[in-house]
Chain A
Amino acid sequence: MRTVSKLLLLAGTAGALAYPWLVPNYYLVYAGVLTVMYAAMATSWNILGGFTGYVSLGHSAFFGLGAYGTGLLITRAGMPWVLALLVSAVLVTVAAAVIGVAAVRVRGASFVIVSIALVSVMNLLVQGWRSLTGGATGLQVPAPFELSRGQTHMVFFYLFLALLGLVLLTWWFISRSRFGGGLKAIREDEDKAEMLGVPTAAFKVVAFAVSALFVALAGGLYAVWFRSLDPIFVFSIVSGVYMVLMSLLGGVRHLFGPLLGALIIAPAGEYFLIALGESQIHLTATGVLLVLVVLFMPEGIVPRLVGRPKGASIREDTAEQRLQEVKG
């Protein structure tokens, strides 16, 4: 089984690296960039959602902050784009840690509402601060390379792929660490975890901030790739919902769950957009999918594929055998 997994991983990596060279046109490269970007974002979301069980619908706030941070540092401070990307991501992570101290004090539905409020506040803030951000008209970011649009898609496909690899590695390391063990305990029973000495408050804030870091990096890369920032899109609750949906669909307990979810939902979203036009009907399809996943596959696709864990303690001896045992 381990060999099969390694072969699948190798084939998947080779397929991803070869993808831009195999597809017949740049539109499909563009769709690939979007898919990999969402895969990275969903896996980042899963650092918080998957390990701790805290469902944030407002992670697009960090995507938007990362995008605007990078764009503003390039356009207003004249920073090189790589430096702007990193500085912006660090600033967003610090902001997320500060926000996290207050946000993760509440659990369940209250946390979901707080996370939605966060993205709405950020959206209003960016739209209202016209002198800095350009307001509702958005922000234009200069091109990072002197390449054609298609070649730019090729470059950013690999940049987002590198980010995805980094997030996957981070998730993998956390899942095997003492920190990850504490986060999983929080997911199952926060009070009990605290009783056993897990510093629950600090761990939740760290998970929130690390999760925000990678989403902010995705936002920064989006800014220099797409070059036109629309606050309605980058601070959209819908993209936050996408991160949740992708993770739920693939399986939040698994490393590759959110990636698998992204591989299904991002291309499907693009398809619906082409088939149904610039209407909002594709959102209905997303909503229906979310309901179906929650109702019929709450654990996601990956657990279905790998099967249920073995080792249930179902008694295998008969009543007769037990009676003999009692009689001695």
Chain B
Amino acid sequence: MSEPLLSLKDITAGYGRAALVLRGLSVTVEAGQVVCLVGPNGAGKSTVLRVASGLLAPRSGSVVLAGEDVTGRSPQALLDRGLSHVLQGHSVFREMTVAENVRLGGYTVRDKARLREREEAVKELFPIVAERWGGIAGLLSGGQQKQVEFARALMLEPKVVLLDEPSMGLDPKTTQTVFDQIDLMRRAGVAVLLVEQNARRALEMADVGCVLDLGAVHISGPARELAADPRLGALYLGGAAARNGPQA
């Protein structure tokens, strides 16, 4: 078993004075692994990603990235250390071109030769990005915009990519394309922490699945086994798993 690239340990976190959203959550992601977080609305899935990317400081617990404790560091600092976060919904800069969007992913890099090299690499990975390079990003379809976001996220050759509901609002065919791209990231050795509402579909392609409920990992294990676990449906259908007690 290899060392985890991203490790969240005993995280508690919340927004303002409101009740805690995450209550002692722990999760790890290794290189070339897709870990999928699923769970009902309000379980704290997106909050996990916000804590991991530095958008939300945890009240306790630690975030370790490639062996370094980065708890409470800014999103920019984590970006520089190889962690990229693709936000929920469509997060392209709509009035800018695809090229400008992708280049923003490498904004912190000043070496022009390296930037060009990365541009070519992501164009090769996402042909639609190359095809629409000079077009306005806001005019692309939902699936194409998602691929532009992926390309932007990969500009800095991140070690870890956080994906927040990448299939949101996409038709099944486009969702398949998006999941194929996630598989490509995994093959490139990237550690992917994925949050998805489309639980069964996401667990089919992920390596590890974690079911969240009430701010903690309720069930975890090999993703395909989890997809077949009847407790998954029960949890989605009304918190039956919560009544049965947590299992790790």
A residues sitting closer than 8 Å to B (CB atoms) are 178, 181-182, 184-185, 187-189, 192-198, 253, 309-313, 315, 326
Contacts and interface: CB of A to CB of B under 8 A. Distances in A.
Nearest to A184: B96
Contacts of A181: 96, 100, 103-104, 107
Interface stretch (B16-24, B27-35, B134-142, B208-216): B134-142
Interface of B: 53, 55, 75-76, 79-80, 85, 87, 91, 93-96, 100, 103-105, 107-108, 132, 134-136, 139-141, 144, 152, 173
Contacts of A182: 107
A198 B107 contact: yes
Given A185-B96, A188-B93, A311-B132, A194 B104 contact: no
A179 to B, nearest CB: 11
A192 B91 contact: yes
A249 to B, nearest CB: 19
Contacts of B75: 194-195
Given A181-B104, A185-B93, A192-B93, A197 B136 contact: no
Contacts of A189: 91, 93
B79 A196 contact: yes
Contact of A188 (B76, B96, B141): B96
A136 B104 CA distance: 50
Nearest to A199: B76
B60 to A, nearest CB: 24
A326 B80 CA distance: 42
A195 B75 CA distance: 6
B76 A309 contact: no
Nearest to B143: A313
A194 B141 CA distance: 25
A189 B91 CA distance: 9
A195 B135 contact: no
Contacts of B107: 178, 181-182, 196-198
The 6 closest A-B pairs by CB, nearest first: A311-B135, A197-B108, A313-B141, A312-B139, A188-B93, A197-B107
Contacts of A198: 104, 107
Nearest to A314: B141
A257 to B, nearest CB: 14
Contact of A194 (B76, B132, B139, B140): B76
Contacts of A187: 95
A185 B94 CA distance: 10
A269 B221 CA distance: 73
Contacts of B152: 196
A182 B108 CA distance: 11
B140 A313 contact: yes
B139 A193 contact: no
A196 B136 contact: no
19 contacts: A181-B96, A181-B100, A182-B107, A187-B95, A188-B95, A189-B91, A194-B76, A195-B53, A195-B55, A195-B85, A196-B104, A196-B152, A197-B108, A198-B104, A309-B139, A311-B134, A311-B135, A312-B139, A313-B139
Contacts of A253: 95
Contact of B87 (A184, A192, A311): A192
